[in-house]
Amino acid sequence: RYTDIGEIKAIVDNIKLMLLKHPSIDQQMKIDVFFVNFGASSLDINVSAYMSVSSGVDFPSLRQELLLKIASI
């Protein structure tokens, strides 16, 4: 959404902050969040982080939780 261009830095910063605070994100590994491109009708953000998951954690559910948190930012 190009209408969010004025907020893109805050959005990127808030996504990174959320990942830094999330208990399932491996804080020993690099966490990257960058505005990378103007899409056809979007502002593209690249998110890279490692999850610390144990055998009892449902990976798809955790991924969904993180994506929904990102979408709400």
**pTM beyond cutoff 0.85:** yes
What per-residue confidence (pLDDT) applies to 43? 94
Percentage of residues of the chain with pLDDT beyond 90:
79
51 CB-near residues (< 8 Å, 6+ apart): 24, 25, 26, 59, 62, 63
User: pLDDT at residue 68 above 80?
Assistant: yes
